[in-house]
Structure 1
Amino acid sequence: MHIILVSNRMATAKTLTLTWRHVVFGGGLLAASVIALSSIFSYLTVRHAAELRLPFLQDAFRVVSAEETQKSRDYVRENLNAMAVKLGQMQAQMLRLDSLGERLANVSGVKLQDARNAPADRDARGGPLVEASNLSANELQQALENLSRQLEARTDTLTLLEARLFEERVRKARLPTTLPVDGTWNASAYGWRLDPFTGQRALHEGVDFPAEVGTPIAAAAAGVVIAAERHPEYGLVVDIDHGGDLITRYAHASKLHVQAGAFVKRGQHIADVGNTGRSTGPHLHFEVRIKGAAQNPNRFLQMAADSHGHRH
């Protein structure tokens, strides 16, 4: 590139030759100057603005921060209050469970250490609201821990009650409290009497149910058949083991419907009334034995008769 310079002071015109290196150098110098001026302007502008506006921005930030903090506190308080209300409801429900457990224990006859001398409805509460205050987070935490311990204690109590009820149900299931024959029995037949064959004073170890031949004989309780055979004195006889060394015997049958080793349910048809063995007429001879010793069946049969409205 050629540049011609003309001036009144110069007698002749001068020519300058610019190469590409001169152009690049000049452009770089111009760019550096622009960047330097821009930086100085920005620095002065920001500094001036900060000096003028910084207090306002700080105040605005404080206001916004205070509002957010208050909102957070209000949110936490609302949640704490809601949890406290729920805690109160859970405590009331636990008291109702206590009351239910105690009534159940009383009805079932199961004695629990915690159920003694307890009011019937401990969940009934009320009264005026005086000097009420919200629970703090620590107080709520302590209340939750106390409730957790109380729930564990109630769980142990209810578990004990369940175990006692199960034991009671099993015990009652073993008792021969179902009438073996749907009819009346000779309650005075148990004990010492005159033997109908010899006329001698002899011990009669059961009670007799007079009935027609073929009348169904039912198991007085659930158990396992340990004997179903013919006996020279009892005739066709069934013995059922109910556990706990308790056995019932059904004698003088005309037909047996079970075999030794079979499990029978309460009220199951096990035999038919007959006149086999040492008998003067059709009837069921019924015995209850505990550890091999004969017991008076009347106390068991009376419970069965009362529940079914029978009289003897």
Structure 2
Amino acid sequence: MKLIIVNQRHANTKTIILKGWVKGLLSVCLLGAPVALGYIGYQLAISDNAFLLTEDTAHKWQQRLSFQKAELEELKQESKRELEALSLRLAMMQARLVRLDAMGERITRMSDFDNGEFDFSQPIVAVGGPALGENEFSESGFLDALSILEMQLEDRQDQLQILEDLLDDRKIQSEVFIAGRPIEQGWIASRFGQRPDPFTGRMSFHAGIDFTTGRAGADINTVASGVVT
């Protein structure tokens, strides 16, 4: 066997002749190295697969999956409890709104406003969609109910504000309107308009009406808002 070594710098070659046992040893190394590397790789692959597919590894994976499943179930239950609590608060707010509507209707009747001017009995309902059962909760149903309640509150707030303004105007008109007599028994001592001044005797304009009972200390009734002089 010959080995030819080429020197790239000087373009020279050198020949080495292998004989005997050196030739056989080199042949074994060149032919046996790929076989040995293939065998080692095969053994490593078998050992890795055996490690990954052991019963203990599968059991650990099963435990991890069970733990994640339990966490997911707990999260679902917690979300359901929170949704039920929010639904309960929503029901309480709706009940308060019903009582507020009843109070608004009563005030409207007592105030003798025109029928149809204020309507606290007509609920604002959404159109479409199936009704939920008593024990059924869903995020979409809760959000729909919350939106309806918000619209109802805005509508009732607007109506109550208008009703309050009208009642205030009516109260002011009632207070400034003069009605009745300031004394129980007595007579008009001086009327409104031109009259002789009781102090000077000259004609002067009287901007009021004088009542008298003919005695001091008589009770006086207020017939309108203002200051008694």
**TM-score over 0.5 (shorter chain):** yes
Letter in 2 for 1:104: I
1:172 and 2:174 correspond: yes
- Equivalenced residues, count: 158
Deviation readout 1:27-62 (Å, 9 max, x if unpaired): xxxxxxxxxxxxxxxx99987543313321221111
Residue number in structure 2 paired with 1:232: 195
1:110 Cα deviation (Å)? 3.4
Residue number in structure 2 paired with 1:250: 209
- Greater share of residues in helix: 2
RMSD: 3.7
1:139 Cα deviation (Å)? 0.4
SS in 1 for 2:209: strand
Residue number in structure 1 paired with 2:12: none
Which of 150, 153, 165 lines up with 2:152 in the alignment?
A: 150
Residue number in structure 2 paired with 1:184: 185
Quick one: percent identity of the two aligned structures? Answer: 18
Alpha-carbon separation, structure 2, partners of 1:152 and 1:231: 57
1:238 Cα deviation (Å)? 5.5
1:268 and 2:214 correspond: no
Alpha-carbon separation, structure 1, partners of 2:165 and 2:154: 16
Deviation readout 1:249-299 (Å, 9 max, x if unpaired): 32489xxxxxxxxxxx826323xxxxxxxxxxxxxxxxxxxxxxxxxxxxx
1:89 Cα deviation (Å)? 1.1
Residue number in structure 1 paired with 2:58: 55
Alpha-carbon separation, structure 2, partners of 1:62 and 1:114: 64
Which of 90, 94, 97 lines up with 1:91 in the alignment?
A: 94
Q: How does 1:1-312 map to 2 (within 5 A)?
A: 49-52=51-54, 53-111=56-114, 113=116, 115=118, 132-177=134-179, 179-180=181-182, 182-184=183-185, 208-209=187-188, 231-232=194-195, 239=207, 249-251=208-210, 266=225, 268-270=227-229
1:184 Cα deviation (Å)? 3.2
Query: Is contact 1:178–1:267 with CA below 8 Å preserved after alignment?
Result: no
Q: Residue 48 and residue 118 in structure 1: after superposition, are their counterparts in 2 closer, same or farther (change >3 A)?
A: closer
Deviation readout 1:69-108 (Å, 9 max, x if unpaired): 1100101111111111111111110010010011112223
Q: Residue 146 and residue 98 in structure 1: after superposition, are their counterparts in 2 closer, same or farther (change >3 A)?
A: same
Structure having greater relative contact order (Cα 8 Å, sep ≥ 6): 1
Alpha-carbon separation, structure 1, partners of 2:119 and 2:146: 27
Letter in 1 for 2:88: V
Letter in 1 for 2:225: R
Deviation readout 1:180-207 (Å, 9 max, x if unpaired): 3x2236xxxxxxxxxxxxxxxxxxxxxx
Deviation readout 1:103-155 (Å, 9 max, x if unpaired): 11222333463646959xxxxxxxxxxx6331200000000001000110000
Residue number in structure 2 paired with 1:217: none
SS in 2 for 1:96: helix
Q: Residue 78 and residue 237 in structure 1: after superposition, are their counterparts in 2 closer, same or farther (change >3 A)?
A: farther
Alpha-carbon separation, structure 1, partners of 2:210 and 2:205: 4
Alpha-carbon separation, structure 2, partners of 1:85 and 1:117: 23
Alpha-carbon separation, structure 2, partners of 1:179 and 1:136: 67
List, as ranges, runs of 4+ consecutive aligned residues in structure 1 with deviation greater than 2 Å.
43-51, 108-119, 177-180, 208-211, 230-239, 265-270
Alpha-carbon separation, structure 1, partners of 2:47 and 2:117: 81
